[in-house]
Homo-oligomer: A and B are copies of this chain.
C-alpha cells in the first residue's frame, strides 16, 4: 500500500518516527513548513516538537516560515509553547496573534508573492529544514504535495534537509492537480509562459534531490479547516452591490459577458459574492485566486465556472469530504500552483483579474487598512491582498460600514494603518452601497465614499470632518491634529460616535 505512495525504493529506508525526525530540529534553526490555511499543512512534527521542547525544558526558538496561515491547532501550540522567534509570511491564529502583539514573536507580515523572492535573494535567513506534507513521493524521489502548494517548492529547493509527512488520509487522486513551476533566479529568468487561468506550465510534482530527504513520517490526519461563515443579510447585500456593478460594467462594454478571472480573499464577504454568482446569469467564469473555498466547488457543480486556479483548497469539513471523494469529477478544471504564481504581479496584470478583498477600515480618500486594529494590533496580515489589489484590472475592497455594534465606523477620516494606498483601490463596497472611485481625485472620492458607503450614524461626522479639512486645503485635505482622533476616542472611550 505504502509503495503506491512511496515509489522510490531507496527512500523507503528513510521512513522514521515523528520523534526521530523531530530530534533533527535544533534550537536556532529556520523551518519551512507546508500549508496555506490548514490545507496541506504538516500535522504531526510540530506537535511532537512542542512536546519534546517541553520535556527537555531547555531554551529553544525556531523561525517558522509557511505558505500563509496554517491550522489553528499548529500555530496555536507553537505560540503557546513560545518557541517561535520569527514567523512569516502570514497567520490568522488567536494565540499566535497574541504573541505577535505582545512583541514576543518577530512577525514579518509579507506580500505572499514576495517570500520566495526574499529567500532566493538571501534577504531573510535560509530554510534549514523543509517539512512538507505530501500525498506521494515519485520514483524519482519528487514530492507530490497535498491540498496546497504555497511556498513548498522554494522551501524544498533551498533547505539543507527535508522531512516529508506522507499523509495517507489525503487522497492519492490529488496527484495531477498541481502545476509546479519555479521561475528561477531574478535576472536569468524566462517569461512565465502562462496566459490563461487554467493553463498548466509546470510539473505535477516538486523536483527535489532525493538525497536531501532525511526522513519520511507517515501520517493520517485530514486537514482541519474552520467552517466557512455563511452569508448573512449584510454580506448578501454587499454581494448584490458588487454583482450589480459587474453587470453594469458588462452593459457598458468594459467587461465581457464572462467577466475576467476572479480572485477573492477568504472570509464571509468573498463567500457571499461567490454565492451570489450561483443565482446570477454569469457563466463560463474563471477563477485565478489563492484559496479555493467551498463556493468555488458549488459554482463548478453548477457549471458556472470553467476553470479554477489557486494555491490551496480551503474547504469546510463537509465539503472537504465531498470534494476529496469526487476528485476525478473536478480534476481537469482545477490547478494548484505555488503562491508566487497564483499571486504573481506580472500574471495578475497579464490576465487582468477582478480582485475582491476585505478591509478592516477605509478612509474617505480610499486608503485601506486590512491588518492593524486601531493602528497597532495585528489581526492577520496583508496576505495576498496587495499582490492582487495593485495589479488587478478591477480592485474591490469590501467591509461592513461599522464594527463592534456601531461603536466603530469602518469609514474613517484617515486609516490608522495603510496596507493599500488610494492608488490601488478602485471600488469600495459596504452594506450601505458601492463607491466607484475610478477616475476621481481625492476630494471627489471623499464625497462619494461618505455618501455611498458610510453608515448613516457616522455620515454627519464624516462630512463635518471633510468640511473642516477643506478649509485647510491641499490635494488630500486633512485636519492633521484630528485625523486619527476617532481612533483615539475609541481607545479612550470605547466609541467613535461623537457627542
Asked if A59 lies at the interface with its beta carbon under 8 angstroms from chain B, I say no
Q: Which of A186, A195, A419 has the most CB of B within 10 A?
A: A186
A440–B414 CA distance with the chains assembled, in angstroms: 26
Closest partner residue, chain B, to A114 (CB atom): B423
Q: Which residues of B contact A207 (CB under 8 A)?
A: none
Contact call A439/B481, Cβ cutoff below 8 A: no
Give chain B nearest CB distance to A302 CB in angstroms: 23
A418–B423 CA distance with the chains assembled, in angstroms: 11
Interface residues of A in 442-499 (CB under 8 A from B): 443-444, 469-470, 472-478, 480-481, 483-485, 487-488, 491-492
Q: A374-B480, A474-B101, A481-B488 are in contact. Are A86 and B441 (CB under 8 A)?
A: yes
Contact call B375/A483, Cβ cutoff below 8 A: yes
Q: Which residues of B contact A390 (CB under 8 A)?
A: 111, 345, 386, 390
Contact call A423/B345, Cβ cutoff below 8 A: no
Binds B, one of A19-27, A117-125, A158-166, A403-411: A117-125
Q: Which residues of B contact A377 (CB under 8 A)?
A: 473-475
A394–B491 CA distance with the chains assembled, in angstroms: 37
Q: Which of A109, A347, A476, A478 has the most CB of B within 10 A?
A: A476
Q: Which residues of B contact A299 (CB under 8 A)?
A: none
Contact call B352/A122, Cβ cutoff below 8 A: no
Closest partner residue, chain B, to A249 (CB atom): B122
Q: Which residues of B contact A194 (CB under 8 A)?
A: 191
Contact call B474/A376, Cβ cutoff below 8 A: yes
A450–B483 CA distance with the chains assembled, in angstroms: 25
A292–B76 CA distance with the chains assembled, in angstroms: 52
Contact call A195/B190, Cβ cutoff below 8 A: yes
Contact call A444/B106, Cβ cutoff below 8 A: yes
Contact call B107/A473, Cβ cutoff below 8 A: no
Q: Which residues of B contact A189 (CB under 8 A)?
A: 195, 350, 352
Asked if A143 lies at the interface with its beta carbon under 8 angstroms from chain B, I say no
Q: Which residues of B contact A190 (CB under 8 A)?
A: 195
A419–B469 CA distance with the chains assembled, in angstroms: 20
Q: A110-B423, A345-B345 are in contact. Are A101 and B350 (CB under 8 A)?
A: no
Asked if A382 lies at the interface with its beta carbon under 8 angstroms from chain B, I say yes
Q: A478-B375, A480-B484 are in contact. Are A393 and B117 (CB under 8 A)?
A: yes
Closest partner residue, chain B, to A371 (CB atom): B475
Binds B, one of A130-138, A252-260, A264-272, A321-329: A252-260
Closest partner residue, chain B, to A260 (CB atom): B187
Q: Which residues of B contact A347 (CB under 8 A)?
A: 346
A487–B481 CA distance with the chains assembled, in angstroms: 8
Give chain B nearest CB distance to A103 CB in angstroms: 6
Q: Which of A109, A382, A423 has the most CB of B within 10 A?
A: A423
Contact call B473/A480, Cβ cutoff below 8 A: no
Q: Which residues of B contact A110 (CB under 8 A)?
A: 423
